[in-house]
């Protein structure tokens, strides 16, 4: 069995492709932020636009950069997202900070919490057991309703190494030690920590040549320096996932405690042309049953464009569906968003209507795993239900590619 890699590993002299990919994406984000800053500065000088939260004396409104009444949405005459989704959507962007939305109720409010650290972290934010864990001043956590003071789980932050990784156990994350980019010959270490208790467990030494991606129901998901993904339990050798090979580039689409989605037949991007690798086959591997689903790039597209592990929330709760982007041409920087259904005898691929199609756009699933939230026309939050084909829109804003979006059940005190 073989493994998925967030990085293409190479011998000592050549650089790691994953490092090149991350650096290319970092440069892309910096250019976008620079453009945004210029536009914002011009807007402030010209009209004094207020970018952050509303005054306490008037109702909360979306960020000023989002048009109040998107004409595209009105022309399409799409019904509103139903209240039955019962979700809170937290959105964080470099420009506007954090805001909370309740689709279907048009509830909206800015928040000064959590304060995320700007950087290319994977993950930068996750939800587990009623807590939000994020990269801020170290690895920090706060209750999902943003009440109380943040809890610091660990103080260390590196520009290259995400200080935590998702765990299979609810209410836990893995704290990660040792930056393999700076010290590639030293083994990586990890400790499982309870978020409510804040107590790290015993140290686990990751096998040499691998780094931690996430926890699963069948051990830790590891990515190898020389390519490939593996499942590993302490005391036994790493077991490769199917169709990944030593030295071959295979990139992650997403991972949960049970499902690992990754690409094979992948090409490394040329930094001058593209900011994402391109994969011919999307694989979805169930770590419990061993079932492997293989999905070629949709007709009319050139390749799948994976997001890498832990960057977005691409797999639906229940593991029956996942969202993925495919590009129309090898050098394209925009693509088409698809839902891949895995719950039948054969997988089906459905194009999501009216999706913005950015390669690095922020997307997430509703807590019950039925609705996919994504940025649609007018930079508004849209939702697609693949099981019924329903498309719904919202008056609330959405992030595009320079942000993070996560959904979870609305806390009882916020209903």
**What span, in angstroms and rounded, lies between the C-alpha atoms of 384 and 367?**
14
Pairing between strand 292-296 and 303-304? unpaired
54 occurs within a structural domain = yes
Cα 413 to the center of its chain, rounded Å: 27
For residue 10, tell me if it sits in a domain. Answer: no
In the block, which residue shows the tokens 């090979």? 245
- Does residue 101 belong to any structural domain of this protein? yes
Please compute, for residue 69, the number of CA atoms within 13 A of its CA located in the half-sphere on the CB side: 3
Inside any domain, residue 4: no
CATH number, position 92: 2.130.10.10
3-class DSSP string for 333-358: CEEEEEEEECCCCCCEEEECCCCCCE
Domain of residue 49: give its range.
17-414
Exposure string of 150-164, with b = 16+ CB inside 10 Å and e = fewer, is: bbebbeebbeebbbb
DSSP string, 279-328: EEEEEEEETTT--EEEEEPPTT-SEE----TTSS--BPTTSSEEEEEEES
Runs of H (alpha helix) within 16-68: 17-47
Average pLDDT across each block of 10 residues of the chain; the chain has 415 residues. List them in order.
33 40 48 42 37 35 45 66 92 87 87 83 90 90 93 66 86 82 68 91 90 95 84 93 74 94 80 66 96 95 89 94 89 85 91 79 90 90 94 88 86 58
> Is residue 144 assigned to a domain?
yes
Between CA 165 and CA 168 the distance in angstroms is: 10
Report the run of H or E that residue 385 belongs to, with start and end: strand 380-385
Domain count, the chain: 1
Q: Which helix (H) or strand (E) segment is 74 a member of?
A: helix 71-76
Kindly state the helix (H) or strand (E) to which residue 75 belongs, with its residue range.
helix 71-76
- Looking at the domain assignment, is residue 5 inside a domain? no
Of all helices (H) and strands (E), which one includes residue 117? none
CB contact at 8 A, 405 and 392: no
Spatial separation of the C-alpha atoms in residues 89 and 366, rounded to whole Å: 9
Residue 366 lies in a domain: yes
Q: What three-state secondary structure class fits 83?
A: helix
8 domain-assigned: no
What pLDDT is stored for residue 54 in this prediction? 35
- Rounded to two decimals, the pTM is 0.80
Q: Identify the bridge partners of residue 2 per DSSP, sorted by sequence position.
A: 241
């Amino acid at each position: 069995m073989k493994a998925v890699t967030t990085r293409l590993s190479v011998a000592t002299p050549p650089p790691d492709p994953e490092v090149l990919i991350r650096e290319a994406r970092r440069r892309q984000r910096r250019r976008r932020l620079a453009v945004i800053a210029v536009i914002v500065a011009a807007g402030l000088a010209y009209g004094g636009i207020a970018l952050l939260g509303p005054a306490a004396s008037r109702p909360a409104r979306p960020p000023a950069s989002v048009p109040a009444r998107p004409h595209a949405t009105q022309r399409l005459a799409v019904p509103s997202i139903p209240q039955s989704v019962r979700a809170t959507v937290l959105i964080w962007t470099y420009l506007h900070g954090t805001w909370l939305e309740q689709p279907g109720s048009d509830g909206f409010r800015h928040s000064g919490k959590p304060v995320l650290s700007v950087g290319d972290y994977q993950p930068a934010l996750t939800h587990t057991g009623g807590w939000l864990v994020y990269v801020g001043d170290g690895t920090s956590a706060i209750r999902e309703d943003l009440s109380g003071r943040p809890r610091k789980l660990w103080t260390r932050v590196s520009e290259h190494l995400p200080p935590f990784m998702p765990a299979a156990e609810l209410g836990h994350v893995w704290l990660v030690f040792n930056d393999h980019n700076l010290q590639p010959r030293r083994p990586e270490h990890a400790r499982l920590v309870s978020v409510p208790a804040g107590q790290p467990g015993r140290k686990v030494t990751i096998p040499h040549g691998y780094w931690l991606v996430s926890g699963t129901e069948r051990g830790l998901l590891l990515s190898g320096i020389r390519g490939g993904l593996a499942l590993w339990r302490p005391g036994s050798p790493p077991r490769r996932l199917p169709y990944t090979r030593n030295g071959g580039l295979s990139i992650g689409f997403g991972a949960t405690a049970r499902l690992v989605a990754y690409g094979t037949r992948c090409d490394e991007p040329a930094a001058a042309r593209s900011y994402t690798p391109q994969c011919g086959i999307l694989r979805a591997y169930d770590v419990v049953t061993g079932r492997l689903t293989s999905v070629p790039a949709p007709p009319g597209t050139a390749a799948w464009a994976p997001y890498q592990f832990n960057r977005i929330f691409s797999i639906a709760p229940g593991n029956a569906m996942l969202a993925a982007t495919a590009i129309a041409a090898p050098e394209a920087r925009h693509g088409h968003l698809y839902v891949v259904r895995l719950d039948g005898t054969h997988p089906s691929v459905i194009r999501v209507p009216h999706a913005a199609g950015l390669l690095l756009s922020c997307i997430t699933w509703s807590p019950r795993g039925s609705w996919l939230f994504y940025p649609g026309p007018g930079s508004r939050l849209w939702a697609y239900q693949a099981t019924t084909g329903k498309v719904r829109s919202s008056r609330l804003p959405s992030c595009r590619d320079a942000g993070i979006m996560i959904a979870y059940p609305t806390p009882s005190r916020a209903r």
